Amino acid sequence: MKDDKLGQPSRQSITSNLWKKIWGIKAPQATKSFLWRAASESLATNLNLHKRKVVESPLCPICSMHPESVAHALWTCSVAQDVWSMGSRRMQKLCMQDGSFKEIFMPVLIQLYPLELIEIAVTAKAVWHRRNSWLFEHDFHPAIQVSKQVLAELNSIGTWLENSEKRIKVQVPHITQWSAPPPEFFKANWDADR
């Protein structure tokens, strides 16, 4: 019989908090799913495909200098850094550390404000789409173009958030309180369905 009084390892709670933070970002579901896949190291990078013997080389298809891990593809590759350098000042000042994307991303989730987290999520996804556009369509978008796409999507998300907040406000029913009638009046309640 399992003893319920035994503690859980702290790593599990840290990871659980990471998933909660990712799923709590106010961004479209596809963007949150992408972040979850990135933090789970389940993107189809050359390193992951090489481990499964799908591709011959684990090197980054863009810079050809380092193995293409998720962290490299989305964060540390010089080509990815070109896009990140065009983001907000706080994003530009984030430290570039080695490790998995999850290890890089966890401190970022703690340091940044909710709107900045949306920017991080949208930018990471845009960097990945830029990489895939180069790899599969041989079309390499300049960093300024990717940055403009990120800004357009952030504006779209801002509009989406405003509209969803309005819908939520509209959907909240007005709560009425009972008040006594004036002294010369009577109130009668009845069920009209019966």
Report d(CA 77, CA 105) in Å as an integer: 15
Report d(CA 130, CA 84) in Å as an integer: 13
Structure tokens at 22: 């990712």
71: left (phi over 0), alpha (psi -120 to 50) or beta: alpha
Please, how many CA atoms are within 13 Å of residue 4, restricted to the half-sphere of its CB? 0
pLDDT score of 171: 42
Query: CA 122, 88, 128: angle at the middle one, nearest 5?
Result: 30
pLDDT score of 91: 73
Q: Where are the domains of the chain?
A: 21-165
| Amino acid letter for position 152 | A
Helix axes 101-111, 29-39, angle to 10 degrees: 130
Alpha-carbon torsion (52, 58, 61, 66), positive or negative = positive
Q: Is 59 helix (H, G, I), strand (E, B) or coil?
A: strand
For residue 48, give every residue at least 6 positions away whose Cβ sits within 8 Å of its Cβ, in sequence order, or none: 41, 42, 69, 70
Note the residue count of the chain. 194
Structure tokens at 48: 């992951």
User: Within a 10 A sphere around the Cβ of 72, how many other Cβ atoms?
Assistant: 23
pLDDT score of 162: 72
**pLDDT tens series, the chain, 194 aa:** 455 555 555 555 667 788 888 999 989 999 999 999 999 999 999 999 999 999 999 999 999 999 999 999 999 999 999 999 888 777 776 666 678 888 888 888 878 888 888 999 999 999 999 999 999 999 999 999 999 999 999 988 888 677 655 544 434 344 456 677 778 777 676 655 54
Structure tokens at 160: 């989406």
pTM, 2 dp: 0.74
pLDDT score of 45: 96
